Amino acid sequence: MKENILDRLEKEVLLCDGAMGTLLNSRGVPYDKCREEQNLVNPELVRTIHQEYIDAGAQIIETNTFRANRIKLRAFGLEDTIEEINKAAVKIAREAAGKEVYVAGSVGPLGVLAKPYGHLTVEEISQLFQEQISYLVEAGVDLLMIETISSLLEAVEAISAAKKVSPTIPVMCMMTFLEDGKTKFGDEMVSSLNKVKEAGADIVGVNCTIGPKETYDLARIFIPQVDVKIAIMPNAGYPTIVQGKTIFLSSPEYLKEYASLFVELGANIIGSCCGTTPEHTRAMAPQVRGKKPARGVSPSPTITSAVRAAEIPKAAIAVEARRFNEKLTQGKFAITVEVDPPKCSDYNKMLEGAETLKSLGVDALNISDNPMARVRMSSIALAHLLQEEVGMQTILHFTCRDRNLLGLQSELIGASALGITAILALTGDPSSIGDFPKATSVFDVDSIGLVKIIKGLNNGKDLANNPIGRPTAFIIGVAVKPAAEGLELEIQRLEGKVKSGADFAQSQPVYDIEVVEHFRKRTAHLRLPLLVGILPLRSYRHAQFLHNEVPGITIPKNILKRMQKSSPEEEMREGLKIACEFVSQVKGLVDGFLFIPPFDKYHLVEEMIKAL
């Protein structure tokens, strides 16, 4: 008989398995099919995956029941098979686990909201959780794993339901947080995890949504402040689409490094989530199995200040716009800097930063549009305010995610009336990865279609060919990934954007001059001005994160080694030095730069400008 898992965790860290759902999809289960139904129609496939994780070193495996609650099964017409699916899943996992490996009953979110945001009452939520959990308990799981919960209310009700069904089976509850330490519903990390503990969870932790580096950043904060056993299971970075397939970029070796760091921080159970495979588990095993946990230290908060600038005459704003547009259209070198709108209505910090950048000779400010689908101040509002109060030209990032065809055209006309003359046309990150996963991603068109719409407005016509009176006068920018996995497809899309009316392009951060040389050679026929993104590396860990988790960014080995050799005190300085060297090397190949200062450290821009 296996030792109770809670007693086992007193003595050693345990290794959990990785993804089940994304692995099933990669092995032929269509994305529009119920993965949990495989317990009935293809149990051998599920059993094989369990066995592969066990062979790789997993000491805990999760049942294939993440979405096996009545609400989610109903979407596939399978609600009447809920008992059969859950019990079959436990049976399959038990057969693979044998006598040594623990079987965790996976319980995911219900997928609906409680009143007043949704139609379910708290009592109904509890009943739904109790139903699924009762089948898992009856079938004989060793513990219950409530996972990927983004609502504190739902987490507490799931734990309560578990304790009602079985007061003795250990309960693990992992919530999922964004990189800012809040759930998609705004629940704050440390207080939420402590409330989960108070609700009766024997093990608490985080999983899914973000990759190893950002999970580590959060773990450093919450582990010292949550006095209970801890579980950590990050994704293999953010997903990206390559040739129609969803892939995750974090390698097994990358997960291995972070597994060791999670042990050092004090985690008791370490596993992985979406995009991982048995190979990730195999790489993590030597860093986890049998190790003793420790406890980490919480970092100090940072404090920022800001001042308000004076209003600038409209004539001066028009001069700045004309000067910048001439630089881009006449082949003169342009310098731009990315500015993220605030998460509140106070934009003083952005004004202070804009004043600093103006004094350095920056030509324009790139104003992002709810990046990563996170709620921020309207990019149109901030662009207008910075132009009015600082007198700087702005490049308005404008996505297709949040606006239908009516809204796209309406807001573009409004932006033109506010004096905005440069647009970066973007498709946008899907809402499902952001603050509000239930928010609808519109995507009536993609970035190519958006360029066509803007070009039409510049010609005085809307999409239906109706006249709009005075035409808009936008210069149109588009985004490119010179280091994209599928470069042929990237170039094809860029050709489509140019054909639709694009005037210039801006790239993601690039660190390899050969990438720029190759991209410029392959796109020379387009004669398109290119602003290359420059993001100074903050640390070796930051470099690893970009290389392993962010689609379209690669860091050369020599740069990774330089960052690795730098002491913690020198890492940011070394990262800035690398950026300045790259600026000096690549300036003859491009038409300008998009500087992306980390943590709004605008003084770093001065150092990079000096390298020109």
Looking at residue 424, what DSSP letter applies? Answer: E
What is the full DSSP assignment across 136-180?
Answer: HHHHT-SEEEEEEE--HHHHHHHHHHHHHH-SSS-EEEEE---TT
Residue 359: the pLDDT is 87
pLDDT in tens, 494-523: 999 999 999 999 999 999 999 999 999 999
List of residues 6+ apart from 13 with CB closer than 8 A: 263, 267, 268, 269, 270, 288, 289, 290, 291, 292, 293
Nearest to 599 by CA among 569, 580, 575: 575
3-class SS of residue 463: coil
Q: Which residue has 């980390």 as its token pair?
A: 598
Give the separation between CA 383 and CA 393, rounded to whole angstroms: 8
Residue 307: the pLDDT is 29
Give the separation between CA 167 and CA 162, rounded to whole angstroms: 7
pLDDT in tens, 141-182: 999 999 999 999 999 999 999 999 999 999 999 999 998 899
Residue 327: the pLDDT is 76
Alpha helices, DSSP H, located in 242-366: 252-265, 278-288, 314-329, 348-359
Give the separation between CA 151 and CA 168, rounded to whole angstroms: 25
With bands split at pLDDT 50, 70 and 90, how would you rate the model's confidence at 329?
low
Residue 244: the pLDDT is 56
Query: How far, rounded to the nearest angstrom, does the alpha carbon of residue 98 sit from its chain's CA centroid?
Result: 37
What are the Cα distances from residue 589, in Å, to 331, 352, 521, 576? 12, 32, 10, 20
**Tokens encoding 108:** 């995911």
With bands split at pLDDT 50, 70 and 90, how would you rate the model's confidence at 293?
confident
Residue 428: the pLDDT is 87
Nearest to 351 by CA among 288, 306, 293, 391: 306
Within the chain, which residue ranges are assigned CATH 3.20.20.330? 5-288
List of residues 6+ apart from 7 with CB closer than 8 A: none
Give the separation between CA 264 and CA 284, rounded to whole angstroms: 14
> Residue 307 phi/psi, 5° resolution?
-130, 160
With 50 as the cut, is the pLDDT of residue 538 above it? Answer: yes
Cα angle 226, 230, 236; round to 5 = 120
What are the Cα distances from residue 260, in Å, to 212, 222, 255, 302? 11, 17, 9, 27
Length of the chain equals: 612
Give the separation between CA 403 and CA 453, rounded to whole angstroms: 13
Within the chain, which residue ranges are assigned CATH 3.20.20.220? 314-480
With 60 as the cut, is the pLDDT of residue 306 above it? Answer: no
Average pLDDT over residues 83-100: 97
**Tokens encoding 350:** 């952005």
The one-letter code for the residue type at 274 is C
With 50 as the cut, is the pLDDT of residue 311 above it? Answer: no
Nearest to 232 by CA among 18, 11, 469, 65: 18
Average pLDDT value for the chain: 90
Query: How far, rounded to the nearest angstrom, does the alpha carbon of residue 47 sit from its chain's CA centroid?
Result: 31
pLDDT in tens, 409-452: 999 999 999 989 999 999 988 877 667 777 888 889 999 999 99
Residue 322: the pLDDT is 65
Average pLDDT over residues 243-256: 76
Establish how many alpha carbons lie within 13 A of residue 213's alpha carbon, considering only the half-sphere containing its beta carbon.
19
Nearest to 233 by CA among 543, 24, 52, 17: 17
Architecture of domain 5-288: Alpha-Beta Barrel (3.20)
Query: How far, rounded to the nearest angstrom, does the alpha carbon of residue 539 sit from its chain's CA centroid?
Result: 19
With 70 as the cut, is the pLDDT of residue 358 above it? Answer: yes
Give the separation between CA 601 and CA 571, rounded to whole angstroms: 15
Architecture of domain 314-480: Alpha-Beta Barrel (3.20)
